């Protein structure tokens, strides 16, 4: 009879852990949340790239106007702005990939194992 009580408490404990895990998975995999996060990240990348180019254009045009050097500063600073924008996009993408990897693993490159204390 003691085994019946133990097995029913084990089953209740298992059911509780299973329902908790199902809620966590449902919350994590909510389609709207993931989609909005992807849109947000895509707009961030586009803004970083565009800001570099427009910043280089504005500074180059201003220097050319002020110094009377025709298109030289404009051309050089547009190229530098494009390089800065691309570098920012690469940094943002690699940081996002690192964050996603750390969320899925325990930080050691192995899948995270959850136990009852978590």
Q: pLDDT averaged over the chain?
A: 79
Supply the pLDDT for residue 60.
95
Question: Is 110 within the bounds of a domain?
Answer: no
Supply the pLDDT for residue 55.
95
How many domains in the chain? 1
pLDDT confidence band for 22 (50 / 70 / 90): confident
**Percent of the chain surpassing pLDDT 70:** 69
Domain holding 68, by residue range, is 36-104
Mean pLDDT score, 36-51: 85
Contact status, residue 53 vs residue 89, Cβ threshold 8 Å: no
pTM above 0.95, yes or no: no
Question: Is 47 within the bounds of a domain?
Answer: yes
**Percent of the chain surpassing pLDDT 90:** 35
Q: How far apart are CA 25 and CA 101, in angstroms?
A: 17
Question: Is 23 within the bounds of a domain?
Answer: no
Supply the pLDDT for residue 83.
96
- For 94, residues 6+ apart whose C-beta sits below 8 A from its C-beta are none
Burial class (CB in 10 A: 0-12, 13-18, 19+), 85: buried
């Amino acid at each position: 009879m003691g085994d019946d009580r133990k097995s029913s408490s084990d089953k209740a404990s298992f059911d509780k852990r299973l329902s908790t895990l199902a809620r966590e998975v449902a919350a994590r995999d909510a389609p709207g949340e993931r989609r909005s996060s992807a849109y947000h990240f895509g707009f961030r990348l586009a803004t970083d790239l565009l800001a570099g180019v427009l910043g280089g254009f504005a500074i180059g045009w201003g220097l050319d106007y002020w110094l009377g050097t025709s298109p030289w500063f404009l051309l050089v600073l547009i190229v530098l702005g494009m390089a800065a924008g691309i570098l920012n996009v690469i940094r943002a993408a690699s940081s996002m990939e690192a964050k996603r990897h750390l969320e899925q693993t325990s930080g050691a490159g192995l899948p995270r194992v959850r136990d009852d204390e978590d």
